[in-house]
Amino acid sequence: MNSEKKRIILGIETSCDETSAALFVPGKGIIAQTLFSQIETHKPFGGVLPEVASRGQLERIKGIVEECIRAASLSIDDITTVAVTHKPGLPGSLLVGVCFAKAFAWASGKELIGIDHLEGHAFSAFIEHSIPFPHLCITASGGHTSMYYIQGFGNYQTIASTIDDAAGEAFDKISKVLGLGYPGGPIIEKYARDNNFADVFSYPRPCKDTMTFSFSGLKTAILYDLVKRGAYDLATRTLLDHSEQLKRDVASSLLVCIGDIFEHKVKLAYSQYPEAQALSFVGGVACNKYLKERLKTWCDRRKLKFFTPSPRYCTDNASMIAFVGNYKAEQGLFSSFDLDILR
C-alpha cells in the first residue's frame, strides 16, 4: 500500500447464509454495511441447506459489495485492503467470498487478509465499545459456542468450547420439534417470555464443573421428556400435543437451562481468570434479551463491565470482519493470493 494513502478496509462475510460487505476507516470506524440474509429461503426446511446457500451467495456478492461502496460514497480506488472470512463455515459459501475477494483484490491491487469468522465474533463488541483487556468473551451462535480469554487485539485463547452442538442449534432444533419455525432463537425467546421464564421441566445442566459446553444431550433429553409425556412420537417424528402451553413450558425451561449453563460457565471462568476486567457476550444467540440480562446482572453484582454488540453485529455480518482486518493490517498480517478456505 502507498504510505501516503489512508487505509480503508472492505470486509466480506459469506460463511453461511448471510452475504455481507462493510467498510472500516481507522479513526471513524464502520462507515457502511450491507447485508442480505437468506432466512426466508431456508425457513421451509427448518435449517440452512448448504447447496442453496452457496448459490444464493453467488447471486448476491457482487451487488452487496457495490451497494456498500456506493452507500459510503467511495470508489473502488479508495479501498486499500480486502478482509474476507475464509474459515470456518460452509465450504461452498466460504468459496464464494474468498474467490470474489481474491479476484477483486488482485485486479485492483489491494492488500488481502483472510479472517477467522470466530475471531470476527470475538471482537465484534469493539465495533461500538471500548473494552478493557484482559477480558472474557462468550461466543454463542448457530454453529459455535465457546469462551475466550482475550488479552489484546488478535491475542486470545479458547478456554471452553462445545464438544458437540452449539447453543443456537439447540434453540433451532427444539423450535423445529415444536413446529415453531426457523431460526428458533427469537421464537423460543418469545414463548419463554410469555411464560415468565418459568423453569417448568428442569432439564439437565450437563458438564457442570468442566470448561466444556455440550448441547446435544440437552436436545435429546427434551425430546425424550416429550415422548414420556405422550407429546411426541419418535417413530414418525411428529408432535402429538399442539397446545400452546406445552410450547411455552418447553421454551421457557430450555431458555432458563441455557441461561444457567452460561452463568455457571462464566462463574467457573472467572474463578480461573480473576484478573479479567469485563465480559463480552457475542454471536447470534447474544440477541437474546433474557440471556443478556442474566449475564449483565451477574457482572453488575461483581462490579465487572459487561458488553454486547447491537443485534446487527451479533448475527453474521461483515463489519466484524472489516474490524479484525484493520488490526491485522496494522500488525502486518496479510495473506498471499494462495489464500484458501478452511472448514
Residues that bind ligand KG4 (CB under 6 A): 16, 141-143, 168, 171-172, 183-186, 189, 283-285, 287-288, 315-316
Least distance (Å) between residue 268 CB and ligand KG4: 22
Nearer to ligand KG4, 53 or 269 (CB): 53
Site size with Zn ion, rule: CB under 5 A: 2
For 150: left if phi > 0, alpha if psi spans -120 to 50, otherwise beta; the answer is beta
Least distance (Å) between residue 286 CB and ligand KG4: 8
| Contacts (Cβ under 8 Å, ≥6 apart) of 340 | 86, 98
Q: Are strands 135-140 and 145-152 parallel, antiparallel or unpaired?
A: antiparallel
User: Which DSSP letter does residue 7 get?
Assistant: P
172 binds Zn ion per the rule CB under 5 A: no
Nearer to Zn ion, 79 or 285 (CB): 285
Q: DSSP H helical segments within 72-166, as ranges? A: 91-108, 117-122
Least distance (Å) between residue 302 CB and ligand KG4: 24
Buried-exposed string 204-223: b where 16+ CB fall within 10 A, e elsewhere: eebbeeeeebebbbbbeebb
Among residues 17, 18, 169, 316, the one that binds Zn ion under rule CB under 5 A = 316
Q: Distance (Å, rounded) from C-alpha 92 to C-alpha 48?
A: 12
SS3 category, 48 = coil
Least distance (Å) between residue 257 CB and ligand KG4: 13
Least distance (Å) between residue 166 CB and Zn ion: 10
Cell, residue 184 = 428458533
Nearer to ligand KG4, 57 or 141 (CB): 141
Whether the CB-CB separation of 148 and 134 falls below 8 Å is answered with no
Nearest to 299 by CA among 337, 253, 267: 267
Least distance (Å) between residue 320 CB and Zn ion: 9
Nearer to ligand KG4, 143 or 206 (CB): 143
Least distance (Å) between residue 190 CB and ligand KG4: 9
Nearer to ligand KG4, 30 or 90 (CB): 90
Q: How far is CA 24 from CA 10, 127, 195, 217, in A?
A: 7, 10, 42, 41
What kind and span of H or E run contains 13?
strand 9-13
Torsion of CA 274, 280, 282, 288, to 10 degrees: 100
Cell, residue 218 = 440437552
Nearer to ligand KG4, 162 or 288 (CB): 288
Least distance (Å) between residue 172 CB and ligand KG4: 5
Q: Tell me the per-residue interface mask from 105 to 144 with Zn ion, x by CB under 5 A, - otherwise.
A: ------------------------------------x---
Whether the CB-CB separation of 342 and 84 falls below 8 Å is answered with no
Tell me which of Zn ion, ligand KG4, none is bound by residue 11, counting a contact when its beta carbon lies within the kind-specific cut-off of 5 to 8 angstroms.
none
Tell me which of Zn ion, ligand KG4, none is bound by residue 168, counting a contact when its beta carbon lies within the kind-specific cut-off of 5 to 8 angstroms.
ligand KG4
Q: Tell me the per-residue interface mask from 275 to 314 with Zn ion, x by CB under 5 A, - otherwise.
A: ----------------------------------------
Q: Are strands 9-13 and 18-25 parallel, antiparallel or unpaired?
A: antiparallel
18 binds Zn ion per the rule CB under 5 A: no
Nearer to ligand KG4, 183 or 206 (CB): 183
Nearer to ligand KG4, 149 or 171 (CB): 171
Binding positions for Zn ion, rule: CB under 5 A = 141, 316
